[in-house]
Structure formats: structure tokens, C-alpha cells
Structure 1
């Protein structure tokens, strides 16, 4: 009896297994390509293909990688930990060959683990490169880290974080390192590295011969190359995959959301595309390619406007456009004008009350005529504009607003409140990327006067190095007059990157005047800005002449011999002091930078 029950139970088990094989085959059947076409395969295969989870969807299938994962028999995590420890040990011992081999093994073992590619590429480009003294050797390790990322894109060709990292390393590490001038020169002529950046098989890549990449001397530029890598990342996010061509993405297809960025901020991700041409134009300024500057800043301006018009996904669940801020404020003020019809003069009454509560320096700046305002006054005027905005809610809540119209006015004010909430969110996002500054900077840098000012500063530096002091002084002073006018017209440029560069030129001008044994002129256009930087750095403020006539023009100094009575009347100002050794050293170091 027991024997028959055992046999029956085994038969039931075997029959059940045979029956379950049918749904298992239906679920797990692989896709098959036939002469008539391609069959999609089982349900699991279709889900993997639809969600792009199959290895073939993620990237190339490497037989060596698949073999290593099978050989570990489920111990892949343990093997990976051992290899990571070995890689760290080789780095400490400076065994670079074994380190590179170990990193390749880690990549074979975990090809779809994005953090491996990012971490070890950063290790190669930033940490290991710093161990070498020769900048050529450092550059080779920087590019080796980027090559490591490029290899990662073979196995993860549709992952935007890797594409972003390639763009970031290519731009920031090569273009902003202490050795950036040498790195950028090496990058331009590195044909072997350019070949690695081109599309290979199914790997992402960019055309290094495209006009979009070519910079000075018709050679590839690292900042322009990084811009195209960022654009590839945008393409992956917006289209769930790469196309064969690189285009500027201007429309959304309903697939863009926070999760598409894999931990990256959408605002920062898209701003990197716009910042790359700005950094390119800034690099051209530092390298004195003045003939290319206007076109470079035009490209930067166009890209920044495109960024401002792009819809940015947010954690609030709505998309924002950074360029909408002005329109929202305009709509709000139109509502204020409509509400003022119920109580004429109420807006001015509220403005007057707000103006009376402003800090004393702002009130003083507002009361001065334009011609009498200093650069600090213009900055205070700009800041006061944001404080002197009348909101519809303030008008409705004011005691002087007619009670008979308040119910209707509250409904209108609620619409304005929604607009104000949207405007507040946009202002927060704009402040994160310093949007207004860079927009103004792109506009100002395209002016012929700005280009002339930069040329004059560069000429002044060269003439100073050549000890042509009078010509250098003329070039500097003409440039500073132009910069003074620019800062009065665009006060939000003060205190940032632009004014810092100009401040460094004032240090050269100070050194020039000390060689000529002359004090600073009392009417120096950039005195406030220069002293603000000096106070921030703990330096003594600039010495100025007590008498403006004490500043002798080059023509007077080189002209006819002075009469004895003129010599007797001319004496050095009592307040003139020679800079200390520490000040001269600090000024020389900044000028060297």
C-alpha cells in the first residue's frame, strides 16, 4: 500500500513538472529571428525588451564578461569586493600597471554597475594623475580616465549619467585644472584620443571633425566637445535612446521627468550644456583669441536662451521655464493696475511706505541723479527694485481699499497669488545657476566696447612686460574708463568672475604706477570695486593722491624741461606710501595667475 502511494506521488510530481514546463516555456521563450521576420519571444523577454533591461538593450554583450559572471557561481559580489581592495592597494603602492589591469577586471565583472565607471574614472583622472610631476604624464592619466568612461558607454550606451560624466571630465578637468593652458593645447593635437571619442560600433560618440567641435586654429576644443557629450545625454533622456545624429533638443515628448536623470538634478544637467560654450568663450579671452570672441559669446548667448526656454522638471511636479519670470511679473503688475482702478493712487501710497523702510544707503542711492551715482549706488538701486514691488494681495489687504469691491478683488488677487508662487519657484531655480548674471554677461560680452576693453587690458599687460610704461599706462586707463561705464550700466556684473579679472588688471596698473613713482589718480573709475576686493583679501586699500594735479600725464613728464619754480612747487603728496614687500608679492602672485 505504502509502495503504491509512493509511486503515485512520484507520478503526480513528474506530471505536474511536465505541465508547468508549458507556461515556463511560454514565459521564458527567447526572441528568434527567422526569414519571415523576428518573433518577440516569451512574456519575460518582451518585458525585458520593453523596459530595456536586457543586456543587448543596455549595451554590447562581452563574452569575457559573461564568462566571468558565470564562473563566479553567484559569488560575483565577493569577487568584486576583493578586486576593489586590490585596486586600492595597487594605488597606495603606485603600481599603476596592475591597477589598470584590476580596473578592467572589475569592469568585466560588473559592466552595468554605473558607479564603478564613475568612481574609477575619477580615480584615474583626478587622483592618480596628481601623482606625476610632468604635466604631459598627468594629461595622459586624465585622458585614461575619460577612456575608461567611454568604455563604460559601450555596455551602458543609453545611460545619461555616463554621458554626462564624459562631458564633465572633458570640460572641467581639462579646461579648469591648474594646467589648463597646457592640457587644452595637448587636447587639440591629440588625434589618438579624438579617435576614441568617435562613435565605435554601438558605443556613443561625437564627430571630432564637426564644425561644432572645432575651435581656434580649426582644431578640436575640449569645451565644445564636452557640450556635444552633454547634448548626447539630453538626447538619451528625452528620446530613451541614441539616434545616429546629434541635434539640439527643443521639444519634449512626454518622457522627461525627475527619474529620467538617475540622481542628477534636471536643472544642473541642462545648465551644463549652456555653460560649456560660456566656458569656451572665457577660455578664448584668457588665451587672447580676440577675433573669435564675438562669435563665441553669440553661441553662448544662444545656448543660454535655449536653456532658459527649456522646460525643467521639478520636485513640485510641474515644469518651469526660467525665461518666464519677467512675463509672470508683468502679468502681476497688470493685475495691480486693474485693482488700482478701484482706488487710484493706492499703489503709489504703498510704494512710498515701502521706500521709507529701505536701508539708508538704498534710499540715498535712489535719491541721487544717475550722473552722481557711484558703482555701489547702482548696486543698491538694482537691489531695491526687488523690494519695491507691489503685490495684488497687498493692495486688497490695505485699509484704504474699498470694502465694496474686496470680494471680487480677492478672486483676482488669488490668480495673482498663483502667478507669484510660480515666479518664486523660478527665482529659486534661477539663483541656483546664477541665471541673470550669465544672461547679462553673454549680452555684455558681445558689445564692441567690451571687446575693446579686453584688448586694451591685454595690450597693457604686454606693454608692461616689455617695460613700455607710458604706452601701458595709456592702454590701462582707457580700458578702466570703459569698464567703469559698463559696471554702472550693468551693476550685477560687479563682484563676480568678470570684475575679479578686471581687478587683477588693477594690480598690474598699481605696479606700473609704482615704477613711474606716481600715486593712484583720485578719479580712478574702478576705485570702489578695487578697494572692495582688497578689503576682502585683507590688503591695504589703494593710496590716492591728495591733489588730482599730482598725477602727471606722460606727455608732461616727457616734454620740455621744467623751470626751477615749477620744480619747487611740485612735491610728492604726503600720503603717498610705497607698497610693502608682502603686498608686492601678493600682487605678483595674482598677476601670475
Structure 2
């Protein structure tokens, strides 16, 4: 190989590189914004919404770091992750936060970066501080880190959900939840930041009973933003839909439980439970994707069963005796032992025999499709269609029941209904006051309040037995233990209201799983019965109120009529009195008229000027005689 040939190859390679730059330039040419056609890569980014502006806010610093890494972004990110771990171990928090910022700049659209490091700050790093205020600040750093991730990944529904989950789980369920909730309620700086992110912390939806933002309700607003994002067409990634959708309504429940534990035991607590029940109802009517080619609605289970039963009756009527014919054929294929077990009473079987019988029953249950194909040709097509519809309904029922059990749907629904009742709030208030009196060493008062509350709780558990597996039941068990200490006795009388409840709990306070399952199965019937009782009670109260209102109206009408009659009689009597007075007044007037006649004649004579002197002469002697008589009377008296 000579130098000339080597130089020629270099020139050739350089020429190939120059030629390759031309298609690369044409493919990657960005849009100029002046109507010129962009390159194919830019058009594809726009078509699939993966351009930087579509993914989130554009960060110039992030783009600069990507270019500066010269294609070694993965290596640089790995080194930074290792450095972040080292800084965390050495408790160099400022350097840790700076390193996390650099990682976010290098990998802004890798949502696991935001999740992991936010968790690291809020959970791992915060636990290194002794003062709960410092731990609270570090939790704030973690949530702020997540918020930045949401800004740069506006289509990452998982990040939005995770942010809402942080507000509830970390601020509301940690060991310092009492202090954290108080600090968050008064943290105006944090509230302003949330308002800037579009979270309406100044709305009633975010404010608790004291009129301040509540962490559970603020977290729910974040979760609702995630739900709106998914409803707009964004897919749920790295999370099951049922878990994604259940969290928001559950945060309502947690809010109601939290304010009750903080002593808010009045109509505000009832209102919180009503809102929680409404949110749970919204979840029950939401179409939720499942691992099947259909969606389900959790609250539609009864409707699905009703449709299944109706179609099953139609199918049985349509196929006639074909079902029994197919079943007889299946029974004939069983072993002699299995056939014998099908006819033996259950009480005479061992455990193994019972399991064998169940297997035989499963084998001899005819498939509807097989029965439909064996039925009369005239109705065969309709039978096959009905069999398919019934199988589809059963698949939906099985999925719905499975998801309901997964999130304990019936329990939360029952809890919301039970907690709305005034007696439940009163029972909680009595326990709260009893605990306070017990802490203040007012034992007599505490015992009285305990016993009053236990009687109410016994009635509640009778109507809602599923509540015995609630966290409330564990708290109540602790209250019963303190009550036993107060009365200085570990034995309870036979008439103790919660004696059955105490016996059902084991020494650790846990419920038997089999008993739990039995209670859950019977709760639906209990709930329906209780609903009917409440409706009947409301109807009775409404009827009584209507009767009282009618009686009150009748009474008012009678009073009005009596007042009118009284006023009429009074007017008649006053009229007669007025007439008598008028008659009496007419007599003196007539006399006065008669006495006025001479005066008028005198006046007339005066006016004419006749006999005026004679009249004066006649009155003068009368006056003089009167004066003489009075003088004589004075002399005689002297």
C-alpha cells in the first residue's frame, strides 16, 4: 500500500460524507415558518405530536445540554445518577438538588426521572431531618420537582396522577400528617405557586371546613386534571385504569376521615361524606377499560345480572328439553364414583369427596353454545345468538365483580352512606369527647360517654355490618380497651352493646378473612334493606310533617274566622252604642234649639231697632232684686 492509494481512499471517504450530508439536510430541514416545506423528519414529528413544543415547555438550557453532550447523553445521565446517590449518602443536599436539575435537563421526557427523584426528595431525604418543618420543606421540594416534570411533559398522565397522589399520601398519611396538614393549610407561598399552575386552591373544591386549602382536596384537583387529560385522548401508561381512576374519589373519603379525626364532627363532616358519595358514584358510572375487548361500569352490576337472567329464561324456554338431554349425555361419561357422589347428600361427604363432586358438577354443566347447536333447526340460529349474548354478559359480570372486589367498591359505597347519617356523626362525636374526658382523668364522664356511643355503634353495625372491617372498627376497639381500663374490668356484661363485636375480633384486632368475605357478601342485601327503612322513615316523617302543617293551617283558619266573628260582633255592639249615643245627643240638641229661639227673636228685634229700651228696663229691676237678696243672706249669716 503506497501513500498515493491511501490518500485517494481518504478523498473518497470525504466525498461520500459530503454526499450523505445532502439527504440528511433535506430530511432534517426544520420548518422556517414562512410557508416553506419542512424536512420529512420535522413533518413526522408534527404528525405524531412528538415535537419538543408538543411534549411540553421548551427549555433552552435542556437543548443546550443535549447538544453539549455530543451524543453521549446516556453516559452523562448515568454519571449524574451515580453522583446524585453519592451526594445523598454524604448528606450534601444542595449538590444533590443541583445534580437532579442536571439530570432533568438531560432527560426531560423520561418521566421515571421525575418520579424517582421526587420520591427520593420527599421520602428518603426528608427523613434525614429531625425537625418536621425541615421535613415539610423537603416534601415541598419533591412536589415542586414533580410539578416541573408535568410542565415539560404535558401529555404524561402518569406524572399528573403521581403529583396528586403525593399531596394526599405524603402530606396526609405520614407520621407527621397532623403538622404537615397544618403547615400546608397556612403555606400561602405554596398556594400562590399552585394558582400559577392552574390549581384553584381558592375555590370551595380545594378548601376544608376551616376555609383553608386542604391537602387531600388539592391532590384531588391534580387527579381530576389527569382524568381530563385522559378523557381528551391521552393514554394511561404504566398503570391500570382502575387504580388511576379510583384515587381521586378516595381522596374525598380520606378528607372526610381526616377532618373527623381533627374534631370536626357536625354537619360539615356530613357534607364531606355526601360529596365523597357523589364522587364514588361518578366512578361507578365511568367507563373503565379492562383486559378484555369491552369497558365496564362498576355500578352497573345489577343491571347486567338482570339482563343475563332475562336472556337466560328466554334461552331455556327456547331450547326446551335439549339442555337436560345434553346433561344426561355428560353424566353418562362420568365415572361410577362421580355419578354416585352426585346423588349423595352433602352431609355424608368428606372433604375430598366434596371436591370430587364439585368437579363432577362442573363437567356435567352443558355449555350454552353446545345446547344451542343441538336444538331444533327452526330456532337454532336464534338460540346460538342468545347463547352468545348471555356469554358476553357473563364475561362482563365476571370482570365487573372482579374489579369491584379489587378496590372494595361495595365497602366504600356503604361507608359513604353510613357516614352521612346523623347518628354516625353523633357516635363519633361521643367517642371523641369520651377520649378527651379520659385524657383529662374525668373517668365518670368518660365512662358515660363511652357507653352512650357504644349503644349507637351497635345499631350502626347492625345496619351496616361491613363497617366492622373498617379502620373505624380498629379505633373503636382501642376505645373499648380504654373503657375497660376506666371501669377496671376486662370482662363485659351480657348486655354490653358491642359484646359480639369484641368477640369477633382476635387478640391482635384483625377480622377473620372468611368472616370478612361473608360480611361483604351479605352487605348488599343489608344495604338495600336499610335504604328501604330510611325511605319509609322519610316518608313517615314527611306525612307527619304534612299532617302537622295541615293542622296548623286549619288552626290558623279557625283563629282567623273567630277573629272575624269577634270583630263583627264588636262592630255591631259599637254600632248600637253609637246609635244610642246619637239618640241621647239629639235630645239636648232639640232643647238647646228651643232655648235658642227667644235669643234669635231678640237678635231680630235688635237688628230692626225696635223696643230695645223697654227690654233693658225690664232686666234692670231683676238684677237689682237679685243683689238685694244676696245682701240679705249675708246679713242673716252674720
Q: Say whether the fold is shared (TM-score over 0.5).
A: yes
> Higher Cα Rg: structure 1 or 2?
2
**Aligned residue in 1 for 2:81:** 84
**Aligned residue in 2 for 1:100:** 97
**Aligned residue in 2 for 1:294:** 270
**Aligned residue in 2 for 1:308:** 284
1:330 aligns with 2:303: no
Q: 1:195 and 1:312, CA in 2 relative to 1: closer, same or farther beyond 3 A?
A: same
**Aligned residue in 2 for 1:473:** 447
8 Å contact from structure 2 (residues 167, 218) kept in 1: yes
8 Å contact from structure 1 (residues 339, 395) kept in 2: no
Provide Cα deviations, 1:422-474, integer angstroms capped at 9, x if missing partner: 10111111111111110111111111121111111112112222333233222
Shift of 1:17: 7.2
8 Å contact from structure 2 (residues 276, 416) kept in 1: yes
Counterpart secondary structure, 2:255 = helix
Q: TM-score, normalised by structure 1?
A: 0.70
**How do 1:295-444 and structure 2 match up within 5 A?**
295-335=271-311, 412=386, 414-444=388-418
8 Å contact from structure 2 (residues 167, 216) kept in 1: yes
**How do 1:233-252 and structure 2 match up within 5 A?**
233-239=226-232
8 Å contact from structure 1 (residues 284, 293) kept in 2: yes
1:57 aligns with 2:73: no
Q: 1:66 and 1:294, CA in 2 relative to 1: closer, same or farther beyond 3 A?
A: same
**Aligned residue in 1 for 2:560:** none
Q: TM-score, normalised by structure 2?
A: 0.66
Q: 1:359 and 1:75, CA in 2 relative to 1: closer, same or farther beyond 3 A?
A: farther
1:193 aligns with 2:190: yes
Shift of 1:164: 1.2
Provide Cα deviations, 1:253-304, integer angstroms capped at 9, x if missing partner: xx46xxx112111110011111111111111111111232111111111111
CA distance in 2, matches of 1:149, 1:140: 14
**Aligned residue in 1 for 2:210:** 217
Counterpart secondary structure, 1:53 = coil
8 Å contact from structure 1 (residues 129, 137) kept in 2: yes
8 Å contact from structure 1 (residues 513, 519) kept in 2: no
1:169 to 145, 149, 166: 166
Provide Cα deviations, 1:494-552, integer angstroms capped at 9, x if missing partner: 223232222222122222211xx68522222222322333434599xxxxxxxxxxxxx
**Aligned residue in 2 for 1:245:** none
Shift of 1:492: 2.1
Provide Cα deviations, 1:556-582, integer angstroms capped at 9, x if missing partner: xxxxxxxxxxxxxxxxxxxxxxxxxxx
2:140 to 131, 143, 156: 143
**How do 1:456-535 and structure 2 match up within 5 A?**
456-514=430-488, 519-535=491-507
CA distance in 1, matches of 2:130, 2:16: 73
8 Å contact from structure 2 (residues 484, 490) kept in 1: no
CA distance in 1, matches of 2:347, 2:152: 59
1:267 to 236, 239, 242: 242
8 Å contact from structure 2 (residues 164, 223) kept in 1: yes
**Aligned residue in 2 for 1:542:** none
**Aligned residue in 2 for 1:227:** 220
**Aligned residue in 2 for 1:582:** none
Q: 1:518 and 1:85, CA in 2 relative to 1: closer, same or farther beyond 3 A?
A: closer
8 Å contact from structure 1 (residues 513, 520) kept in 2: no
Shift of 1:478: 2.1
Provide Cα deviations, 1:46-76, integer angstroms capped at 9, x if missing partner: 3212322111111222222211111111111
Q: 1:472 and 1:16, CA in 2 relative to 1: closer, same or farther beyond 3 A?
A: closer
CA distance in 2, matches of 1:537, 1:302: 31
Counterpart secondary structure, 2:58 = coil
CA distance in 2, matches of 1:358, 1:479: 43
Counterpart secondary structure, 1:289 = coil
CA distance in 1, matches of 2:36, 2:277: 50
Q: 1:518 and 1:72, CA in 2 relative to 1: closer, same or farther beyond 3 A?
A: closer
Which structure 2 residue ranges, 5 or more long, are not aligned?
Answer: 324-341, 350-364, 512-638
Shift of 1:146: 0.6
8 Å contact from structure 1 (residues 214, 224) kept in 2: yes
8 Å contact from structure 2 (residues 277, 413) kept in 1: yes
8 Å contact from structure 1 (residues 147, 196) kept in 2: no
Provide Cα deviations, 1:80-132, integer angstroms capped at 9, x if missing partner: 11111111111111111111111111112211121111111100000011111
Which structure 1 residue ranges, 5 or more long, are not aligned?
Answer: 240-254, 347-352, 361-392, 540-593
Q: 1:105 and 1:19, CA in 2 relative to 1: closer, same or farther beyond 3 A?
A: closer
Q: 1:488 and 1:394, CA in 2 relative to 1: closer, same or farther beyond 3 A?
A: farther
1:118 to 111, 115, 118: 115
**Aligned residue in 1 for 2:515:** none
Q: 1:287 and 1:148, CA in 2 relative to 1: closer, same or farther beyond 3 A?
A: same
Counterpart secondary structure, 1:261 = coil
CA distance in 1, matches of 2:286, 2:255: 22
Counterpart secondary structure, 1:115 = helix
1:159 aligns with 2:159: no
Counterpart secondary structure, 2:469 = coil
Q: 1:492 and 1:413, CA in 2 relative to 1: closer, same or farther beyond 3 A?
A: farther
Alignment coverage as a number of residue pairs: 463
Counterpart secondary structure, 1:166 = helix
CA distance in 1, matches of 2:469, 2:17: 78
Counterpart secondary structure, 2:205 = coil
**Aligned residue in 1 for 2:200:** 207
8 Å contact from structure 1 (residues 150, 197) kept in 2: no
CA distance in 2, matches of 1:15, 1:168: 55
Counterpart secondary structure, 2:472 = helix
